[in-house]
């Protein structure tokens, strides 16, 4: 009841803020017959002249505004990722492979789930999330990421979830990011989601999405200028989705209020977000077995209510709270100060069923372990202070960044019961058979970590065509692990660094190279609560950045070699805990393209060749390929608006393909190659927009696994053909 009251309160506030009485007078527009058409998420183009029913009148100039956090973002074209790289430099000046997926791509593709966010980025694949809880799980250049960042702050991707409604854009930096993020960054790459922030003009949008499998998803985005430098923005989403899984479904709520104040030299922004996800089942998908092709992709392999009189049914309830405060102060024309803090708290209550694949003998029966009445938590806070500016020494220009960061995080779980049962894999009508309880270890485990880091970065302009980048970060970690009967702690000092260069060959092409080394502490669960040594990652990268059509189309071609040691993987005897798996390597090349071929033809596409394998290990065979990492993968998404008498109409589609890949580590069987096709068509009048999407047009059956992370004992089936209708109204 309490959550419902809060939800109703925010919805009423959103309706109130959408009332013109709350808007600044100068932002109200009285429309006669046709509005200026402004594309959401981009600087306006193709602005049509307003048609008047009266005498011709000279109208005052209209300021065309973008709904993007970055005003220069235009359609699928963007050259900024400030919160990812912690500087306001254009991406063309940074010697790294960085890709950005702007909001307009998400809108055109009708993206509603986190695992769809990065399907248009080379070398990045979604992984099996934690029971389908909307966690941010990705595989980058062959390596698993169990953490992501939100507005430049790292958090645990296992429990801290978010709804796509409040995401402005997604930013990805390939390779180790320790020189910026320290030991909390992923060694394969860094994924950063940018929250929607208050704008300094009035804006509003309401969307209703319907889909098969009884999916219903209303969302809203309201921004209002309050005067005296204050602006507020409220994003919200509700979703009820029965899904294609038998007996499955979820209900979710998301509210994200934000307020900002802009002074002459100082700005303050407060961002908050609350997400609640209630799952009928805690769905890990299918058991990752050699005969997976013969298993039903719609069947739930676990316990539902009533399946067994002595065992509880699976379910999940996740709640996430995140609050962020950011202060910017302009010290002088050349120097500015940024002070920011973020707090997060996430809890998850669940009953879960894991397949015990290591007990499988090849017959029709498989043992499962049921963890009932489980409670998990993640909480933490981070404080950052940064000084940014420009300086000139000995005739050279420096773009400098100095910063310090303190981070405290606690992750833990407690479950009261662990019981075994057996399912018939091919007879869903057979009730689960109960067998003796299985004790896999103590039911309580908590890991705590403190990190204090200092870092510095310099982008040195040697000539108008050559820039050098150097950065380093020193971190001190204090980690503790506690389990029933065990306590352990450790202190570590790490130094992460990067060196790179950009050489502009001509106005449309620039060479870049980068070498970097990062460390990442392993704060997770071992069977005896021991603290693992930190992971170490080293990457060498070289590439070319292109821009065409007056920077409306960008492309990045890169080749790399990445090594990683002290890697964790799931304990085959207890998938909720981890073991060290030695060292791994990945090498390959990637191509990313995004932007506009013409002003009406947009495209985002990528290709990746990835070779990732075990190099040294005391458990897995050397030479085994890392799971769910296809040698070849690629995608193309494009939209076209013909204009003229068809003004407002748009059509588009996409192709997503991957070659066969290993399903498990150690290698035992492969997942088949696939090609998936999506389509869209929409009609936009300026105020109203109707959009129809068909995902997986030809009903391709394929799967993705937990890769080299802790969920590689399951396979997640991709949804069958899905129809989505979205109606939108701009206030």
Give me the phi and psi of 120, to 5 degrees please: -105, 15
Identify any residues that bridge with 274 across adjacent strands, giving them in sequence order.
Answer: 255, 321
d(CA 420, CA 62): 68
pLDDT at 706: 66
619 DSSP 8-state letter: S
Note whether 136 and 118 are within 8 A (CB). no
DSSP H helical ranges for 512-665: none
698 DSSP 8-state letter: T
Peptide bond into 666 cis (omega under 30): yes
Note whether 381 and 160 are within 8 A (CB). no
Identify any residues that bridge with 419 across adjacent strands, giving them in sequence order.
Answer: 370
Count, residues in the chain: 731
Identify which of 194, 213, 210, 215 has the alpha carbon closest to the alpha carbon of residue 117: 194
Three-state secondary-structure class, residue 358: helix
d(CA 183, CA 451): 8
Could you tell me where the beta strands, DSSP code E, fall in 30-166? 98-102, 124-126, 138-140, 143-145, 147-150, 153-156
Query: The tokens 């001509």 sit on which residue?
Result: 506
How many angstroms separate the Cα of 537 from the Cα of each of 177, 180, 216, 620?
A: 9, 14, 43, 19
Positive or negative, the CA dihedral 642, 644, 645, 648 is: positive
25 DSSP 8-state letter: G
Note whether 282 and 315 are within 8 A (CB). yes
d(CA 51, CA 691): 25
How many Cβ atoms from other residues are within 10 Å of residue 433's Cβ? 13
* Domains of the chain as residue ranges with CATH: 82-730 (2.40.170.20)
Identify which of 502, 584, 581 has the alpha carbon closest to the alpha carbon of residue 538: 584
Average pLDDT for consecutive 10-residue bins of the chain (731 residues)? 43 44 38 38 38 41 53 82 88 95 97 94 89 82 84 82 94 92 79 95 97 97 97 98 93 98 97 97 92 93 83 91 98 97 96 87 88 88 97 94 96 80 88 64 76 96 96 92 74 92 97 94 62 85 96 96 84 67 92 96 98 87 93 98 97 98 91 98 97 98 72 86 98 89
Could you tell me where the beta strands, DSSP code E, fall in 175-308? 189-195, 203-211, 215-227, 230-241, 250-262, 266-279, 286-287
How many Cβ atoms from other residues are within 10 Å of residue 569's Cβ? 23
Note whether 593 and 555 are within 8 A (CB). yes
Note whether 205 and 731 are within 8 A (CB). yes
pLDDT at 573: 65
Three-state secondary-structure class, residue 3: helix
Structure tokens at 258: 């934000």
Element at 187 (helix H, strand E): none
Three-state secondary-structure class, residue 91: helix
**What is 398-443 written as a DSSP string?**
EEEEEEEEEEEEEEEEE-SEEEEEEEETT-TTSPPEE------S-S
Give me the phi and psi of 93, to 5 degrees please: -90, -5
pLDDT at 13: 43
Identify any residues that bridge with 215 across adjacent strands, giving them in sequence order.
Answer: 211
Do strands 649-658 and 632-640 pair parallel, antiparallel, or not at all (unpaired)?
A: antiparallel
pLDDT at 161: 86
Query: The tokens 């009266």 sit on which residue?
Result: 54
pLDDT at 417: 72
d(CA 714, CA 627): 12
pLDDT at 38: 40
End-to-end CA distance of the chain: 31
Note whether 507 and 171 are within 8 A (CB). no
Note whether 238 and 220 are within 8 A (CB). no
Q: What is the pTM of this model?
A: 0.88
d(CA 231, CA 220): 17
Note whether 172 and 189 are within 8 A (CB). yes
Note whether 445 and 468 are within 8 A (CB). no
């Amino acid at each position: 009841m309490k959550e419902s009251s809060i939800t109703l309160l925010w919805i009423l506030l959103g309706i109130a803020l959408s009332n013109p009485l709350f808007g600044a007078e100068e932002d109200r527009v009285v429309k006669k017959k046709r509005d200026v058409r402004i594309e959401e998420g981009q600087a306006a183009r193709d602005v049509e002249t307003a048609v008047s029913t009266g005498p011709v009148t000279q109208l005052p100039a209209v300021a065309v505004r973008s709904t993007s956090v970055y005003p220069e973002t235009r359609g699928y074209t963007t050259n900024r990722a400030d919160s990812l790289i912690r500087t306001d430099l254009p991406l063309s000046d940074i010697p790294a492979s960085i890709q950005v997926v702007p909001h307009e791509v998400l809108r055109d593709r009708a993206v509603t789930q986190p695992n769809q966010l990065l399907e248009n980025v080379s070398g990045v694949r979604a992984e099996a999330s934690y029971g389908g809880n909307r966690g941010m799980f990705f595989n980058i250049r062959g390596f698993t990421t169990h953490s992501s960042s939100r507005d430049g702050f790292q958090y645990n991707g296992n429990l801290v979830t978010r709804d796509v409604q409040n995401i402005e854009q997604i930013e990805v930096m390939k390779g180790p990011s320790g020189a910026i993020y320290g030991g909390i960054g992923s060694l394969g790459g860094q994924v950063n989601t940018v929250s929607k922030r208050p704008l300094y003009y009035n804006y509003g949008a309401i969307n209703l999405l319907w889909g098969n499998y009884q999916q219903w998803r209303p969302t809203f985005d309201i921004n209002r200028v309050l005067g005296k430098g204050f602006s507020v923005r409220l994003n919200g989403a509700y979703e009820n989705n029965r899904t294609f899984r038998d007996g499955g479904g979820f209900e979710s709520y998301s509210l994200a209020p934000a307020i900002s104040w802009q002074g002459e030299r100082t700005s303050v922004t407060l961002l908050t977000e609350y997400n609640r996800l209630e799952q009928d089942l805690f769905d890990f998908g299918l058991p990752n077995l050699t005969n997976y092709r013969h298993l039903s992709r719609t069947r739930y392999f676990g316990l539902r209510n009533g399946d067994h009189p002595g065992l509880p049914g699976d379910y999940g309830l996740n709640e996430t709270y995140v609050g962020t405060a950011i202060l910017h102060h302009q010290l002088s024309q050349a120097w500015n100060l940024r002070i920011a803090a973020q707090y997060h708290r996430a809890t998850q209550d669940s009953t879960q069923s894991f397949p015990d694949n290591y007990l499988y003998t090849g017959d029709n029966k498989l043992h499962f372990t049921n963890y009932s009445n489980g409670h998990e938590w993640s909480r933490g806070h981070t404080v950052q202070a940064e000084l940014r500016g420009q300086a000139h020494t000995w005739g050279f220009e420096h773009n400098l960044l100095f910063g310090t960061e303190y981070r405290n995080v606690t992750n833990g779980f407690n479950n009261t019961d662990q019981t075994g049962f057996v399912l018939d894999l091919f007879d869903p009508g057979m009730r689960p058979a109960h067998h003796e309880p299985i004790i896999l270890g103590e039911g309580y485990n908590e890991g705590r970590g403190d990190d204090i880091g200092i870092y510095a970065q310099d982008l040195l302009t040697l000539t108008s065509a050559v820039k050098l980048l150097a950065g380093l970060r020193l971190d001190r970690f204090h980690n503790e692990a506690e389990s029933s009967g065990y306590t352990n702690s450790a202190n570590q000092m790490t130094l992460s660094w990067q060196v790179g260069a950009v050489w502009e060959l001509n106005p449309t092409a620039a060479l870049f190279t980068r070498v970097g080394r990062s460390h990442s502490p392993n704060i997770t669960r071992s069977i005896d609560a021991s603290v693992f040594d930190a992971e170490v990652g080293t990457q060498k990268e070289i590439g070319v950045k292109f821009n065409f059509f007056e920077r409306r189309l960008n492309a990045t071609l890169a080749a790399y070699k990445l090594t990683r040691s002290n890697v964790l993987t799931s304990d085959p005897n207890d998938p909720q805990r981890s073991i060290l798996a030695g060292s791994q390597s990945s090498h390959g090349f990637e191509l990313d393209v995004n932007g506009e071929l013409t002003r009406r033809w947009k495209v985002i596409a990528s290709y990746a060749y990835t070779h990732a394998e075990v190099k040294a290990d005391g458990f897995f065979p050397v030479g085994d390929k890392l799971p769910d990492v296809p040698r070849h993968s690629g995608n193309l998404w494009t939209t076209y608006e013909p204009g003229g008498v068809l003004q407002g109409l748009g059509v588009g589609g996409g192709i997503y393909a991957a070659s066969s890949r290993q399903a498990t580590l150690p290698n035992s069987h492969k997942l088949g190659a696939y090609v998936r096709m999506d389509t869209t068509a929409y009609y936009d009048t300026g105020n109203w927009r109707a959009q129809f999407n068909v995902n997986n047009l030809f009903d391709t059956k394929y799967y993705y696994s937990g890769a080299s992370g802790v969920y590689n004992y399951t396979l997640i089936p991709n949804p069958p053909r899905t129809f989505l209708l979205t109606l939108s109204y701009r206030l």
